[in-house]
Amino acid sequence: MTTVKFACRGMFGLVFVGVLLMAAFSVVEAREYGDIVMDSTRDSMEKADVGAVVFPHWFHRIRYKCKVCHEKIFVMRKGANNISMADIMEGDACGACHNGQIAWEPLECKRCHSAELMPAANDASKQ
């Protein structure tokens, strides 16, 4: 029994050290795996002087099943959801939950608009 406990601790230790080494040698980024950067309304974002939206899909997915948002609120196809701040403030799109009751209200811009707007791939004049 003691040998089994020691072996489990040893295996846990190896995994833990491996994770630490991977973290130490990886490039640290502001975004996490599974984040979605949304900048389809870049013109209005530039006018409002805010960055692109970083949607932490992974964060929402570990808390909710897919059907909570898809297809009732969002279509599961890139570019299919035209989201505006007006929609959100009216309780549509992200505002269905981010209403101050289920989740925080969208009052602090940088909570969502946290990525730098990159030049559009098809806009050579801005590059």
The range of the structural domain enclosing residue 70 comes to 35-119
pLDDT of residue 127: 43
Statement: the pTM of the whole predicted model exceeds 0.85? no
CATH code for position 77: 3.90.10.10
Q: Provide the number of structural domains found in the chain.
A: 1
Residue 6 in any domain: the answer is: no
Residues 6+ apart with CB under 8 A from 19: none
Residue 72 in any domain: the answer is: yes
CB 46 within 8 A of CB 40: no
Residue 113 in any domain: the answer is: yes
Per-residue pLDDT of the chain (127 residues; tens, 9 = 90+): 555 454 556 666 666 655 544 444 333 344 677 889 988 888 889 999 999 999 999 999 999 999 999 989 999 988 899 999 999 999 999 999 999 999 999 999 999 999 988 776 655 444 4
